[in-house]
Amino acid sequence: MPIIPESFHAASDDLPWADNWAGDAGIKLKLLMADIEGGRYAIRMLFAPGLKVAPHKHSGEIHAFTFAGEWAYLEYPDSPSNRPGSYLFEPPGSTHTLKVADDVEGYTDVMFIMYGAMLHLGADGELLGVTDAESVLREYPQLLREQGKPVPEQMPVGGSMAYRAL
């Protein structure tokens, strides 16, 4: 009989926010799941009003669920803004610049389920950096420790969703 992996539950409201994600004071992140072998991860992010994220490209598909605030992609002005209750699907290969509305009260709260890598691009389209399941799994607890915040004892990682302490 094959071994069926146990499911994983994360009370995401109880997980700590890593402030200053990617060195940006306007971004907070919490890691919900990282599957290194499967090349996917789930995160919740908070974005400050008016924030503009550097242009980036995704190697895999993205699913985004907006809980609070408002945001859009600058490259797609005819596309509706993402507001609470919105679901957004991004196909692999899409390149865009995320912009949070200037007049939003409080943070914009979005959950992303990302497949593959996020390629950070410079002004001329050059590759500046890469974010993927492995890098987020490494950087999230590191940043929490630097900020004196508790690191969750267990997170789901690996292709079989086995658990391990961070």
Residue pLDDT, tens place only, 56-106: 999 999 999 999 999 999 999 999 999 999 999 999 998 899 999 999 999
67-78 pLDDT tens trace? 999 999 999 999
Q: Where are the domains of the chain?
A: 12-150
Residue 23 above 80 pLDDT? Answer: yes
Q: What are phi and psi for residue 152, nearest 5 degrees?
A: -55, 140
Burial class (CB in 10 A: 0-12, 13-18, 19+), 88: middle
107-162 pLDDT tens trace? 999 999 999 999 999 989 899 999 999 999 999 999 999 999 999 876 656 554 45
Indicate the pTM of the whole model.
0.89
Class at the top of the CATH hierarchy for domain 12-150: mainly beta
Burial class (CB in 10 A: 0-12, 13-18, 19+), 68: middle
Q: Specify which residues 127 forms β-bridges with.
A: 121
